[in-house]
Homo-oligomer: A and B are copies of this chain.
């Protein structure tokens, strides 16, 4: 299903090469000032065109179809539409049988018995993340004052020094290849008490949404996988004041599924784009043979670049849900 949330609900729709992609947001409180300009900064962070990103350039101008009146949200569903203008559908001919490895093409064709829109990955395309970014912009406006998001690339491939990221990406691109990366979002200013034990934990909601982003294969909070290597005496975050400030933040701001008032830290591993220019030997259902596949189209050499704002948006969406409930 393509709907998510209880207090802040998303209904996402669209395909990469269809007329439009969009999202309907329900539960947005009335009276929030909003204009299409408010989306510009985050959309620009996601937009293609920079080094390492796809040359496909969409204007990405949001059209607000409902839920806005005289510059404020109305409390009714807010529908935000992005038209698809810059599509090269012919690039995708023939991928029904000779499926791109590590893409959704094959599973989608099987699951939907060949009725899915295959152009550019159809509904599975990372194009839909433009709608998540738009939802993130609204989510940030729902959250109370004083909350800030800081998102960065921690790694590109095996490289962890930011100054060398461009180099690593350029090298991959030059070889007709792509490269993965790790994104971190840090949220400061969240009070104590958001989220719930068990199924409505902060981590659970964020993780559920983060895995909606294509290419995400791992998620960790605070020190994440590193905590497994530790002793309890090393890993415990000792409380130092009445507000619950902790001397360390190994937990990434969440205890028992609930925010503890310290910064939330979430880290996400994105795989290298599976669409690469290099020839790949993979099964062709038309011929019944493993054959060389040459993928055309325009692709990111490192989706983690543009993925940063998407991860941040999704974190904001999950927090807006929990905030509206708390």
Contacts and interface: CB of A to CB of B under 8 A. Distances in A.
Interface stretch (A42-50, A51-59, A143-151, A222-230): A222-230
B107 A192 contact: yes
A13 B117 contact: no
Given A79-B13, A123-B197, A220-B269, A257 B225 contact: no
Interface in A58-103: 63, 65-67, 69, 72-79, 81, 99, 101-103
Contact of A65 (B14, B201, B214): B14
A11 interface: yes
Tell me whether chain A's interface is mostly helix, strand or loop, or mixed.
Answer: mixed
Contacts of A9: 1, 3, 11
A212 B198 contact: yes
B272 A232 contact: yes
Interface of A: 1-4, 6-7, 9-15, 18-22, 24, 26-27, 30-31, 63, 65-67, 69, 72-79, 81, 99, 101-104, 106-108, 110-113, 115-117, 121-124, 128, 155, 157-158, 172, 175, 177-182, 192-193, 196-201, 203-205, 207-212, 214, 216-242, 244, 246, 250-252, 255-260, 269-276, 278, 280-283, 285, 288, 290, 304, 325
B157 A229 contact: yes
Contacts of A69: 15, 18, 115-117, 122
A259 to B, nearest CB: 7
